Amino acid sequence: SKESAVSGLQQRLMFEKNRHIIGSTLLSAIGSKKKLEDAVLKKIAVIDGLSRLKVDWNRKVALIVGASPKNVWMSGFLLENGMITISGNSLSLDLLALYISRLKTTRIFKKIVLTKVYRRTVRGHIFYSFELKAYLPGYENAAAQKNNAEGAKK
C-alpha cells in the first residue's frame, strides 16, 4: 500500500500545482484587468477634459466676438502661449476703446494691451487697423519672459 500512498501523494501534489497555477493565472488576469481599467479611466478623464476645454473655448470666443460693437470687426485671432493676438479694424478710436472696455468686462483676460493702431484711408473713408495682445490668467509673465528671451537673441 506504499504504492497507493505514493500515488495519492502524487495526485495531491499535482492538484496543488494546478491550483497554484490557476490561482496565479487568476491573480495575473485580475491585475491586468485593473491596469486596463485604470488606463481606460485615464483616457476618459482626458476626453472629458478636452470636451470641457472645447466648450470653454467656444464660450470664450463667443464672448470675444460678442464684445465687438457695431463697426468694429476682427480680421485675425491667434492663440499662442496663453496670449491671444486680436487683429481688426474700427471706424473710430472711440469704438476701439469701447471694444477694449467690453473685452475687459468679459473677465477672460488678466491684461489687455493695444500694441498697434494705424489710421487708414480707403476711397475717402477713414478707419483704424489695430492689434491687441490679451493675456489669459497665469500666462502674462510667461509671455513677457518669451518676449524678453526673443529680444535677447537679436
Secondary structure (H, E, C), 9-45: HHHHHHHHHHHHHHHHHHHHHHHHHHHHHHHHHHHHH
Compute the average pLDDT of residues 87-104. Answer: 94
Band of the pLDDT at 141, cuts 50, 70, 90? Answer: low
Residue 46 or residue 149, greater confidence: 46
Per-residue pLDDT band at 100 (split at 50, 70, 90): very high
Mean pLDDT of 41-69: 76
Q: How far is the C-alpha of 90 from the C-alpha of 4, rounded, in Å?
A: 103
pLDDT of residue 133: 93
pTM above 0.75, yes or no: no
Q: Kindly indicate the confidence band of residue 79, based on its pLDDT and cuts at 50, 70 and 90.
A: confident
Give percent of the chain with pLDDT exceeding 70: 83
**pLDDT > 90? residue 53:** no
Q: What is the DSSP letter of 108?
A: -
d(CA 102, CA 70): 12
d(CA 82, CA 138): 8
CA distance to 38, 91, 104, per residue, from 135 (Å): 36, 25, 11
Minimum mean pLDDT range among 9-13, 17-21, 44-48, 119-123 = 44-48
User: What is the per-residue burial (b if ≥16 Cβ within 10 Å, else e) of 113-139?
Assistant: eeeeeeeeeeeeeebbebbbbbbbeeb
Tell me the one-letter amino acid at 49.
Answer: G
What are the distances in angstroms from CA 25 to CA 17, 66, 85?
12, 61, 58
pLDDT of residue 54 exceeding 70, the answer is no
93 touches 63 (CB < 8 A): no
* pLDDT over 90 (residue 33): no
Looking at residue 105, the DSSP 8-state letter turns out to be H
Binning pLDDT at 50, 70 and 90, where does residue 90 land? very high
Sign of CA dihedral 98, 66, 132, 76: negative
